[in-house]
Structure 1
Amino acid sequence: MKIRRQKKAQKILGFYQHNFDIRPPYTVLLDGTFCYAAIEGKVKIAEDIPKYLGSLDTKLITTQCIILEVEQLRKLKRDLHGPYMIVKQFPVHVCGHEGKPVPASSCIKSLLKKENPKKYIIASQDNELRTHIHECVTGTPVLYLHRSAPTLEKPSEKSQADPLNANKTITTHEEKTLQSLKRKLIGEEEVEPERRKKKKKNPNPLSCKKSKKVKKPQQQQQQEMKEGKSKRKRKKHKKPGAVHHHIQQEAS
């Protein structure tokens, strides 16, 4: 099961690497709820989280607002002394609320903004905070503890629908600079002229061959010759008595 979880985690991290440029070494922002769940599940945060993410250089950080919130809650509940001692072990990240602390969830929301510009991975058990990240923040991996197993949540619908919004768009000046560099290195691109469609033309009369008379077969010619002979007119022969009578009339 452990290998299966790691493969699933790498698949999810691959989505964020490809679409939101979240690459190792990762920066994991922890809150008090995650530290409390780690004590109950006997999870060694400093060892187990980097192994699960597949990057031993993972940075585990917290903020002053988170530490102060756990410290105040410790005064009300004695069982929060352990989470307080754990959260104090991690480096404190500057959140901008020094001197005016805010609730931990509000502090994390202010760091994430709408597009998670610092590429944080949020480690929290706070359901309200996780819902806010899914609905309002793109490109933010969320890590939580399922009993004693670190688990990455699937990318939210907002991140899947528009994964490239979190990346910075190229300005017009940068685009012109890229085009000029491309011309210097590659040269001008040859633009092929548009090919016109050829119209159908009439055939050239000089190139057309004259129609040849089809020769009739020999049998048909012989038959026609026989028919021609049979149609010849017969000569009329005059009787000798009629000629003599005609001569006598002329003499008289």
Structure 2
Amino acid sequence: MRLKKQKRHRKAVRFYTACFGFRDPFKVLCDGTFVHHLLINKITPADTQLANALGASVKIFTTRCVLAELRSLGNSYVESLNAARNLLIARCDHEKRKSAVSCITDVIGEKNSEHFFVGTQDADLRKKFQEVPGVPLIYGLRNTLFLEQPSAFQHQFVKSAEEDRSHMTKLEYKLLNVKKKNVASEEVKDSSEANEGKEDHTFGFQAMQINMRKNGGDLNDKVQFKRKRAKGPNPLSCLKKKQHGSTNKVASEKETGNGEATVRSRSRKRKRSHKSKNVSESIV
């Protein structure tokens, strides 16, 4: 059962931190009934017990009107008065003393801008704060502290606030219309400038045609642009031409030289040795 209570408390704390911007350390505003309940049921130290219930460190506050109300209740609430004097004082700006209910209501206001957790045992006050967005309520039951779950009104308030944030405000809608008008005027200006440029171009071309016709020429007779023609090779990258006369002369010289060599080789006579002749004479 204790684990389920902790889960419910963590879920409620996440709701208030995510939707209303509550931050650690949490501020708890207590009235006299809540302080008196803590003392009677010995829920002490109060800051430690509240920190365990909320899952984060806390700062406990009260008001001067609450202290004045406890003082007026007599000796039965002396201990509660002494305990409340040790708490931090929240500013209420009341010159004359008010009841604790009206004082805490004024401190919380319509939107609870100070992000207070309200600790009270007054059922009517808790029911009243259920209709105020962003007011977490803490109450005691015997020796246990409970964090009241967010009411249906608070859930509906969060849902409607999210829907409002998703739509444009009147100021944003006006700024968007002004932006659209500026863009449309710029587009019209650009298109008019483009049309003027085309008209100037066509007018100049027509004037050129008229001048050409007056001079006896025609636009089609003259070349309007220079055509690219094939160019010759780079002379520096080409080999030098060979001289055919010198090569023929060299070749003829080679041929004549070879001819003489053949003639000489043919006209050369064969040498015969006379040894065999002498041998034959001697035999005879």
| Class of the TM-score when normalised by the shorter of the 2 chains | 0.5 to 0.7
Choose which of 97, 114, 134 in structure 1 pairs with 2:110.
114
Question: What TM-score comes out, normalization by structure 2 length?
Answer: 0.55
Cα distance in 2 for residues equivalent to 1:125 and 1:100: 24
CA gap of 1:7–1:175, structure 2 versus 1, over 3 A, is farther
Q: Which has the higher contact order (CA 8 A, sep 6+)?
A: 1
Alignment partners' CA distance in 2, 1:117 and 1:160: 18
Query: Hey, what does 1:83 align to over in structure 2?
Result: 80
8 Å CA contact 1:116–1:166 kept in 2: the answer is: no
**Percent identical residues:** 29
Contact 1:16 1:139 in 2 (8 A): yes
Corresponding residue for 1:30?
30
Larger-gyration structure (1/2):
2
Task: Please give the secondary structure, in 2, of the residue aligned with 1:162.
Answer: helix
Instruction: Give how far 1:166 is off.
Output: 7.5
Query: In 2, are the aligned partners of 1:112 and 1:137 still within 8 Å (CA)?
Result: no
1:54 corresponds to which residue?
Answer: 55
**Residue 138 of structure 1 aligns with which residue?**
133
Q: How does 1:89-108 map to 2 (within 5 A)?
A: 89-97=86-94, 99-108=95-104
Amino acid aligned to 1:123: G
Contact 2:53–2:147 (Cα < 8 Å) also in 1:
no
Supply the distance in 2 between the matched residues of 1:137 and 1:28 (Cα, whole angstroms).
Answer: 16
Q: Which of 154, 162, 167 is the equivalent residue of 2:157?
A: 162
The alpha-carbon distance between structure 1 residues 172 and 52, as it changes in their structure 2 partners (threshold 3 A), is same
Aligned-partner SS, 2:12: helix
CA contact (8 A) 1:143 1:150 kept: yes
- Measure how far apart 1:172 and its partner are: 7.0
In structure 1, stretches of 5+ residues that fail to align are 178-252
What is the CA–CA distance in structure 2 between the aligned matches of 1:176 and 1:55, rounded to whole Å? 44
Q: For the Cα contact (< 8 Å) 1:29–1:61, is it kept in 2?
A: yes
Match of 1:43 in 2: 43
Number of residue pairs aligned between Structure 1 and Structure 2: 171
Matched-pair contact (CA < 8 Å) for 1:138–1:166: no
- Cα distance in 2 for partners of 1:43, 1:124 equals 14
By how many angstroms is 1:165 displaced? Answer: 6.4
Query: Contact (CA 8 Å) 2:62, 2:88: kept in 1 or not?
Result: yes
Give deviations 1:137-160, integer Å, cap 9, x for gaps.
Answer: 111100000111110111112101
Q: Over aligned residue pairs, what C-alpha RMSD do you find?
A: 2.5
Runs (5+) with no aligned partner, structure 2: 176-284
- Classify the secondary structure of the residue corresponding to 2:10: helix
Q: Note the C-alpha offset of 1:173.
A: 7.2
Deviations 1:16-60 (A, max 9, x none): 11221222211100110001111221101122111211112x111
Return the offset for 1:124.
Answer: 0.3
| Counterpart Cα distance in 2 of 1:94 and 1:175 | 40
Q: Which has the higher helix share?
A: 2
